[in-house]
A = this chain, B = another copy of it.
Amino acid sequence: MNNTSPTPLDAIDSSVQSAAATAVFWAESGPSLRAALLRGLADALDAARDELVAIADRESALGPARLNGEVARTSFQLRGFAAEVEAGVPYARVDDAAIAGAPPQGRPHLVRMLEPLGVVAMFSASNFPFAFSVLGGDTAAALAAGCPVVVKAHPGHPQLSLAVWELAQRVLERQKLPAGLISLVPNADREGGSYLVRHPDVAAVAFTGSYQGGMALQKLAAERPRPIPFYGELGSINPVVALPAKLRTEGAALAATLAGSITLGCGQFCTSPGVIVLIDDPASDAFVAALAEAFKPMPTHAMLSPAIRQGFDNGAAKLAAHAAVKPVFAPAADGAGPAPRLFEVTAEAFIADAHLREEVFGPLALVVRAADVGEAVRVLEAVGGTLTVTLWGLEQDSDDARHLLRAARRVAGRVLFAGVPTGVAVTHAQQHGGPWPSSTQPQSTSVGYAAMQRFLRPVALQDAPRWALETENGQSH
């Protein structure tokens, strides 16, 4: 593979067509076949972990500790979806018996079942070379749902993408499954990405990446002769609201925890806390001071790519130049990566200027100073849409606590009452997706087992003969 020349459009076409050729077979496949594939992929990933982590570290600089953990998460996720398939989730039915008589009480026999959408085009993320890439959550969810996948490799880790894809191909071959089930577009440029989204054989798009890129692709998906679902995760500022009473007793520990979360992986997480909302109080002042102290010893960390580094530097410079924004401390000199930055602004200014609510991807947070809880609520309302809101100090029921929770629920997909938003558990209850722009489809999640539902749509069979119901129960294949 030549990393510098983009994958030609006819090669993308071949990838999509080889995926499309498997769509009917896979849509009609039973749970044992799907579960065996998902577990086979998980086992193969675990077995190749050392060599894959070495490639990933060379390409992403994320370090072996983080990357080993990410492989474990990725194989755990593949096995989790296997269990979902075996539990019958993609074969679920609602069966309403016929009722004799005139409508509205009378009705025919209706069985609602789930139909896989077809080929899913999956745009890998830069910041999770395993968990949101070739065999990551979107691929696991799509395969579990009965959909083949065409993976657009992320240019940040091309060798790893190819190695993981080749590993997947070996698993498919061993299991005598068609190679096209997991197809790869190794090196698409912007034209190639657009071509993929507009391809008539692509039925849905899953995207994790930048706001600009996501918005452009979503527009293409909507403007196709036949529009298709576009699941995009485009950005999130993840406010943390910390009440003074909490900071008075636990401020020092929380400052260390929060500094760790903001700088984790050089801030390159969609759930990185970007806004810290504090109520005017000496405990809040002390917390900001403790936060600044906590940042000082943090080692810097190379960012994923020069483009991401450039984006961070631009975002930090814009904040530094903003009339209403002041730096909390003079940042240390940049090392391998950028030194963390902490800025401060009034709630009033934050609410007034939408630019202050834009995500800066990297180790940076903006402290927003509110006069009281009412103003903190208005800060949350101004956020619009975010993957997470964290609320510290809401252990006891009160009017203030209820107002904050209500505002948080209105804008977020996940509301935390303890800990930090980085780290997203793969469970049934997980919700990773909130109002726009954190997700283009706030009713869907891209992490957790409900993510499978993105690639299924209901079909009701009316007065179906027995054979049509028997052959589609997922057990008879």
Contacts and interface: CB of A to CB of B under 8 A. Distances in A.
Contacts of A298: none
Interface string A408-428: 011011111111000101111
A443 B457 contact: yes
A271 to B, nearest CB: 11
Contacts of A115: 409-410
Contacts of A128: none
Given A222-B222, A442-B457, A418 B467 contact: no
A83 B461 CA distance: 24
Interface in A64-99: 69, 72-73, 76-77, 94-96
Contacts of A321: none
Which of A105, A111, A218, A443 has the most CB atoms of chain B within a 10 A radius of its CB? A443
Interface stretch (A49-57, A242-250, A287-295, A399-407): A399-407
Contact of A459 (B28, B415, B441): B415
Given A110-B430, A458-B443, A465-B417, A103 B435 contact: no
Interface string A7-36: 000000000000000001000100000000
A361 interface: no
A468 interface: yes
Nearest to A219: B222
Contacts of A218: 222
B227 A436 contact: yes
A23 to B, nearest CB: 9
A110 B226 contact: no
A401 to B, nearest CB: 7
B96 A467 contact: no
A405 B396 CA distance: 57
A429 B465 contact: no
A39 to B, nearest CB: 15
Which of A107, A226, A457 has the most CB atoms of chain B within a 10 A radius of its CB? A457
B415 A461 contact: yes
Interface string A328-369: 000000000000000000000000000000000000000000
Interface in A288-309: none
A209 interface: no
Interface in A425-466: 425-431, 435-436, 440-443, 445, 450, 453, 456-465
Nearest to A104: B76
Given A402-B471, A409-B115, A427 B462 contact: no
B462 A417 contact: yes
A468 B417 contact: yes
A450 B461 contact: no
Number of chain copies forming the complex? 2
A417 B463 contact: yes
A81 to B, nearest CB: 13
A414 B459 contact: yes
A210 B425 CA distance: 43
Contact of A428 (B96, B219, B413): B96
Contact of A96 (B405, B429, B463): B429
A428 B95 CA distance: 8
Given A104-B72, A222-B222, A457-B443, A462 B229 contact: no
The 8 closest A-B pairs by CB, nearest first: A397-B467, A107-B425, A76-B104, A112-B429, A431-B460, A110-B429, A96-B429, A418-B463
Interface of A: 24, 28, 69, 72-73, 76-77, 94-96, 103-105, 107-108, 110-112, 115, 118, 218-219, 222, 226-229, 384-385, 394-397, 401-402, 405-406, 409-410, 412-419, 423, 425-431, 435-436, 440-443, 445, 450, 453, 456-465, 467-468, 471
24 contacts: A24-B406, A72-B104, A73-B103, A76-B105, A95-B429, A96-B427, A103-B423, A103-B425, A107-B426, A107-B427, A108-B425, A110-B425, A110-B430, A118-B410, A396-B465, A397-B465, A401-B467, A409-B459, A414-B460, A414-B462, A415-B462, A417-B464, A417-B465, A443-B456
